[in-house]
Amino acid sequence: MPTSKIAGIGLYVPENTVTNEDLKKYMDTSDEWIQERTGIRERRYAHRTDETTTTMAVEASKIAIERAGITAQDIDFIVFATLSPDYYFPGCGVLVQRAMQMKEIGALDIRNQCSGFVYALSVADQFIKTGMYKNILVIGSEKHSFGLDFSTRGRNISVIFGDGAGAVVLQATEKEGQGIMSTHLHSDGQSAELLAMYNPGTHANHWVKEPVADYTEAAIGEMFMSKEMMDKAQNFPFMDGQAVFKKAIIKFPEVIIEALTKNGLSTTDINLLIPHQANLRISQFVQQKLALRNDQVFNNIQQFGNTTAASIPIALCQAWQEGKVKEGDLICLAAFGSGFTWASALIRW
């Protein structure tokens, strides 16, 4: 059976750089406060109207497709991971298909937030191995900046996130020892509300104290966003940072060790670990826990912030461009995020 290899990779980040100093204009914070807690110095924000989750994905995809030595017409399936789609529906996958004038191919959207790209890679891997598709475009793209609370109330979350996109083209390879060796996916919904955006959503009326008796325009508006919801900032993301941190530093190492054990390898065999860029402190803890050297771990959250589903492909592409990912290298991807979900992929480049 053939294995799946990454034949081309690309990234796109907006030109607009927002530093920690810039955020001081909107909230009570400081460069020292942000760096101490997250390691982040700056992030990129997309243009408010001219750049979207889809347009950024298209730019990253163009580069990945060109580097794979194919054209958009050769892509026969799309797997798109994001938590910030342009529309509630349809998903961004079909918007990429339209924007790039591809054939009438299938497009699948993945909603696993921070773990989304690894989940998407795993799904695409199965299609390649079975021979169903030959050239799959796997995308992670996020535009967080349009939906953050830029006030002191929301600073614990808003200082973390940035915008950007990464994409890879997955193809089959018969070369022995090359490609995706295994993927490992997990979830535990017991703590789903500890990292979530409660509204909009189908459970919005659960939070309304009084049932809506009629369907007038005002009543319908009350069903989906009451004053109480607005006062509690339920239209913005919520995160219990300490709870997420405690869970992440357990599950991150576990899922990495799971991948290595599955393939009869150890941490000393890893050439490069690319963790989801959630928080530099989490990455540093995982590195220490696994006794990895500095040159075995790649972090760019300092430069781009947390781009959730886009963070791994952006980091992987940047590492490859800098010559830190070479043929024959053992690359481990790992992620933990909302859901909770966590995942890993082991790749022989």
* Catalytic annotation, residues: 114, 276, 306
Query: Which tokens is 187 given?
Result: 């979830």
β-sheet bridge partners, residue 185: 343
Residue 3 φ then ψ, to 5°:
-110, 170
Instruction: Give the dihedral sign, CA 254/272/165/249.
Output: positive
Strand bridging mode 330-337 / 17-19: unpaired
Q: At what angle do helices 311-321 and 116-130 cross, to 10 degrees?
A: 80
3-state class percentages of the chain: helix first, strand second, coil last, to nearest 5: 40, 25, 35
Whether the Cβ atoms of residue 155 and residue 27 lie closer than 8 Å to each other: yes
Query: Which tokens is 349 given?
Result: 């480049």
Query: Which tokens is 240 given?
Result: 């219990």
The H-assigned helical ranges of 3-71 are 20-23, 31-38, 53-67
Q: At what angle do helices 280-289 and 31-38 cross, to 10 degrees?
A: 30
Q: Give yes or no for a cis peptide into 200 (omega within 30° of 0).
A: yes
DSSP state of 25: T
- Cα distances (Å, whole numbers) of residue 80 to 269, 301, 341: 30, 22, 17
Cα distance between residue 8 and residue 63, in whole Å: 8
